[in-house]
Amino acid sequence: MIGKVISHFKILEKLGEGGMGVVYKAHDTKLDRTVALKFLPSHITANETDKARFLQEAKAAAALNHSNVCTIHEIREHENQQFIVMEYVEGVTLSEKIKSGPLELKTVIDYAMQIGEGLKAAHAKGIVHRDIKSSNIMVTEANQIKVMDFGLAKLRGSTKLTKTTSTIGTLAYMSPEHLQNKDIDARTDIFSYGVVLYEMLTGELPFKGDYDSALMYSIVNDDPEPVSKFRSDLSSEFMHIMNRVLEKDPEDRYQYVKD
């Protein structure tokens, strides 16, 4: 693909690959700007119903205009494969930042506020991300947060987890209700946001398991190790916030990010 021109985009380099597609850095020859192209797996739009659903979700995400959300410019198709043209974000993922250990409290607060602002903007438009995790969050050199992959967000409505959508979320970050095939809404993002917050503070994930079913059991049934076990610089108010965002029952969580 490198060097290939698709429409008016020249592919420059491969940026990454995951369950939801392959991402390339590209040059937009019409507007003379650098963009990222995400080519989606064919099963995402295997039939006209799936395709229409994807386009609806992508259209809603493209309407998001927020400094903490990666901007979607357009949706295109090449050789029957859909791809998303989006803002190119130069930086590292939050998961890469955390690899070297827990972050300083002031950094955690800064990043948490920015992630929260991005989620608040999405939820205000009825968009539930469903896949919030540290590897889906970019940090620029200027420490600006960009929440990625809102083009694959799940709009409120047909929100039940199915075999075809179960791979979308990464297990360790998924809410109990998501894992149990229950209706999900913005509160599932709040739980995943809590997992990311815990990870930033401790350098570890709150729920663990040697295999998928054990991890799923832990998320649904176990309480995580208190963050206070890992650090002593947190106020009681901060601890209360941590406990509440990770409540098993969505009714017991904060109902909105703005809370």
Single-letter residue type at 154: K
Tell me the three state secondary structure of residue 195: helix
* Sequential DSSP letters for 40-96: PPGGGGSSHHHHHHHHHHHHHHHT---TTBPPEEEEEEETTEEEEEEE---EEEHHH
**Contact call for residues 231 and 201 (beta carbons, < 8 A):** yes
Whether 233 sits among the annotated catalytic residues: the reply is: no
Q: What is the DSSP letter of 155?
A: E
Please tell me the distance from the alpha carbon of residue 143 to that of residue 172, in angstroms, as a whole number.
Answer: 25
Please tell me the distance from the alpha carbon of residue 246 to that of residue 235, in angstroms, as a whole number.
Answer: 17
Please tell me the distance from the alpha carbon of residue 3 to that of residue 138, in angstroms, as a whole number.
Answer: 25
Please pick, among 50, 110, 131, 259, the residue that the annotation labels catalytic: 131
Structure tokens at 56: 């609806």
Please tell me the distance from the alpha carbon of residue 115 to that of residue 238, in angstroms, as a whole number.
Answer: 17
Please tell me the distance from the alpha carbon of residue 166 to that of residue 7, in angstroms, as a whole number.
Answer: 32
Single-letter residue type at 188: T
The set of catalytic residues is: 131
